[in-house]
Amino acid sequence: MLLGCPSEIIVPDPGEYVMHRLNRAEYNNTVRDLLGTSLTPADDFPTDDHGYGFDNIGAALSMSPLHVELYERAADLLVTEALSDPEPWPLTITQQAEEAGASVGSDWGLGFWNLSEEGEVSAVFDLVGEGTWTVRTRAFGHPAAGESARFSLRVDGNEIGQFDAPDLASEVQVFEVDATLLAGFHIVSVAFLNDFWQPEVGADRNLLIDWIEVEGPIGRQTPPNAIKADLLTCDPELIGRSTCTRAILGSFATRAWRRPLTGVELDSLLALAEAAWNVGESWEYGLGLALKAALVSPHFLFRVELDEYPASTEPHRVNDYELASRLSYFLWSSMPDEDLFALAHDGTLHLPEVLAGQVRRMLADPQSDALIDNFAGQWLFIRAIEDAAPDGATWPDFDDDVRASLQAEMRLFFAGFLDGRDMRQLLTSTSTWLDSRLVGHYELDLPEGIVPADGTFVEVDFPDGPRGGLLGMGGLMTATSYPLRTSPTLRGKWVLGHLLCAEPPAPPPGVEGLSTEDETDAETLRERLEQHREDPVCASCHEVMDEIGFALEPFDPVGVHRTEYSEGVPVDASGTFPDGRSFVGPRELTAVIAADERLGGCIARQLYTYALGRGPVFEDLDPMVDIEAAFMDSGYSFEELAIAIVTSDPFLLRRGQP
């Protein structure tokens, strides 16, 4: 606290929270943890608006009628899935031949496909379980030269049976073979083996196929719906409909609303089920209705925090259940787990040593991947790689697979910082993660033994560059480029804004048109940007932004290293700040940024904004000083930074809204 503050201010103002609607990621994660579903209904919700660089800012998360409509729809989908009974095994899946894939032939009519020459009809089946599957097809043939049409029935290219087709359509026949198959995707095909064609004598042997079918797994018990088995913890026949329903609803809604229910609340949910039973609906239908009600309730959709005096700005501690939600949505983007609920129930969660222990536990849990998806995904622009649009004609190989690998590289790299590793190494690290696709994309010539096997990533060190470290990430370089060329300005603005929290203001209206789209001549680009700065209004920002960007010019618009532009002009990667600091290339730039005293404070501020879900306000200055100091004292440890944030007053306190 600043010296000279009036002494009566004992508790610092924690700032104003706006009731936080679950965003899309939080909704999906919450229903996953609540029900065990793999449905992700929030994918259909409107894109969340973001503010201050993140999409979990309470004030920016608006609630439109469309949201409410889709919440009801999502609740319906989730409850229907939860209470459904699986289709009993064996299952039969039929693919009509005329709708399946065929290498040759034509639609014969009447639902048959005509293999008029040697080739095959094939269908892909996704088998739900391993075991014995009966594979069938229905076919007949047109014989010729005294020989019937012969065909092979194959699974994944391996023959499981060979047959002669009947010679008349009226004798069309079903052929079947049992095969032992693993669960998952399989290709079943029918291949015509003995084509014959002599038009001069009117001889034409063909195979006509009606459908391909699989049935199975044979002799295996239908597995129960695991979600239903977990949810229905009692039998209404044994302990009575109301008692059982009350027990199920109590436990479900307590977790869904992330706090214990009052008796009145539980009664009102039960009343919904009872009203349905009274008009003749089944037990499960009534229960489902009450479950839906829990999922469309504001107590589920919002993270509700209450004040005793809502209009008073007197700060007070949030209760331990509210704190458990603050913690779990910060570190996991999801609801609290059993441990957190237990600590909230005991009323000990807010104790500093308990909080610190929980942060360590939660960061070590796989659910902390949410920090990579949502915090790093936004702060470090990993998500922006999805929206980057390098020109397809210039970089035809830049496809969704490359995109995914570029994202994975950054994700794996950031994952290494969730424990105590010095976060300055985000910049100064000389290593990165590569798969074979990135080795190809980056045009790397790796020594034998280091090359990753297909589908796996390995950590590779580049002591002499050019890759490794944040400013060597191809994904980041792509996300900060235009479709046809790099933008030193965009890259410089990104480094200043995201790493040093010193983003220059937007240009005044009318000058935005100066950026050029298809200018690829390097000298001209640098000259144009330098000319641009002759205007003093532009110079004050661009003489920092552009110089940073110049040092990153060795990476082209898709993040591939280059020493010259396509015109044969060598890349000039030198940059100089107005204060005289100068650097050449990404590595020297990295050293300058890593040594910048604003870096630590900026990392702290980014995580603080994300943790609180609100933009920084004046009252945050004091707590930020303490948090920053703790972060730096710990050697820039992410874990210690997270602990400093969750034990700070703004995280532990709240106040009403005047």
Within 265-294, the residues that bind another protein by CB under 8 A are 265, 268-269, 272, 275-276, 279-281, 289, 292-293
Pick 219 or 280: Cβ nearer another protein: 280
Residue 223: phi, psi to the nearest 5? -70, 145
Residue 214 lies near another protein (rule: CB under 8 A): no
Stretch that binds another protein, among 103-111, 179-187, 219-227, 295-303 (CB under 8 A): 295-303
Please state the separation of Cα 24 from the chain's center in Å: 10
Applying the rule CB under 8 A, the residues between 632 and 651 that interact with another protein are: none
| Six-digit token string for 530 | 């330098």
Pick the binder of another protein from 12, 250, 600, 615 (CB under 8 A).
615
Residue 551 near residue 585 (C-beta atoms within 8 A): yes
Residues 6+ apart with CB under 8 A from 460: 431, 432, 433, 434, 446, 450, 467, 468
Applying the rule CB under 8 A, the residues between 302 and 321 that interact with another protein are: 302, 304, 306-307, 310-311
Residue 65 lies near another protein (rule: CB under 8 A): yes
Pick the binder of another protein from 201, 238, 393, 453 (CB under 8 A).
393
Q: How far is the CB of 649 from another protein (least distance, A)?
A: 19
Residue 144 near residue 172 (C-beta atoms within 8 A): no
110: helix, coil or strand?
coil
Stretch that binds another protein, among 39-47, 118-126, 177-185, 546-554 (CB under 8 A): 39-47
Residue 59 near residue 51 (C-beta atoms within 8 A): yes
Pick 289 or 359: Cβ nearer another protein: 289
Pick 199 or 280: Cβ nearer another protein: 280
Pick 422 or 503: Cβ nearer another protein: 503
| Six-digit token string for 167 | 């010679």
Burial of 146 (0-12, 13-18, 19+ CB in 10 A): exposed
Applying the rule CB under 8 A, the residues between 478 and 517 that interact with another protein are: 482-484, 506-510, 512-513, 515-517
Q: How far is the CB of 492 from another protein (least distance, A)?
A: 15
Kindly give the interhelix angle for 352-364 and 638-646, rounded to the nearest 10 degrees: 140
Residue 19 lies near another protein (rule: CB under 8 A): yes
Pick 461 or 519: Cβ nearer another protein: 519
CA distances from 546 to 490, 543, 575, 583 (A): 8, 6, 8, 13
Q: How far is the CB of 288 from another protein (least distance, A)?
A: 10
Stretch that binds another protein, among 12-20, 231-239, 244-252, 400-408 (CB under 8 A): 12-20
Residues 6+ apart with CB under 8 A from 128: 89, 91, 183, 217
Residue 296 lies near another protein (rule: CB under 8 A): yes
Q: How far apart are CA 16 and CA 19, in angstroms?
A: 10
Residue 66: phi, psi to the nearest 5? -60, -40
Stretch that binds another protein, among 239-247, 261-269, 322-330, 429-437 (CB under 8 A): 261-269
Pick 173 or 540: Cβ nearer another protein: 540
Applying the rule CB under 8 A, the residues between 72 and 111 that interact with another protein are: 72-73
Q: How far apart are CA 503 and CA 497, in angstroms?
A: 4
Residues 6+ apart with CB under 8 A from 36: 226, 227, 230
Applying the rule CB under 8 A, the residues between 352 and 391 that interact with another protein are: 377-378, 381, 383-384, 386-387, 389, 391
Residue 392 lies near another protein (rule: CB under 8 A): yes
Pick the binder of another protein from 135, 207, 248, 301 (CB under 8 A).
301
Pick 17 or 140: Cβ nearer another protein: 17
Q: How far apart are CA 286 and CA 293, in angstroms?
A: 11
Residue 191 near residue 156 (C-beta atoms within 8 A): no
Pick 449 or 505: Cβ nearer another protein: 505
Residue 52 lies near another protein (rule: CB under 8 A): yes
